[in-house]
Amino acid sequence: IFDEKVYLGHHDNGRPFLHNSAQEISISHTNRFVAIITHRDEYLGIDIESLSRNFSAVEKKVLSEDEIDDLSEKDENRNKQLAIIWCAKEAIYKRMSLMGVDFAEQIEIDKFTPHDEGTLDAVFTHKDGMEMEFELEYMVFEGHVMVWLVG
């Protein structure tokens, strides 16, 4: 990935950084894959999950009422949609690098129909009410979901 040897460290909140590079980095992994994203100038976040995981608990713990209303009624799409939403919220959380984020209250994913790849719109609301809008990209491959954002 890098032209020279780099040294990975972690901030107190767990966010990774490179000791000897100004590039931003985000990392995620499953049993089978590692996902790494870097950028010279922009904050970023990435998350990857296996679709073999049951994401039904995500609905109860980290979705807003609006997001629950937007879920697909079809079981085969529902787990994929929940996985994409979970990964999107995780990617935003990693990008924001803040402690004590309430995923259901502070991270809102706009309604979407899950495909094998696409984009998502989301809003992060700071505790003071300031909002930040994001566009995330996602892809589904080999039984996994990966979502990332830059900016």
Q: Which residues contact 33 (CB under 8 A, 6 or more apart)?
A: 48, 144, 146
**What percentage of the chain has pLDDT greater than the value 90?**
85
pLDDT of residue 73: 79
Mean pLDDT computed over 63-68: 95
Phi/psi at 95 (nearest 5 deg)? -65, -40
Tens digits of per-residue pLDDT, 108-133? Answer: 999 999 999 999 999 999 999 999 99
Residue 74 clears pLDDT 80, i.e. is over it:
no
Residue 86 clears pLDDT 90, i.e. is over it:
yes
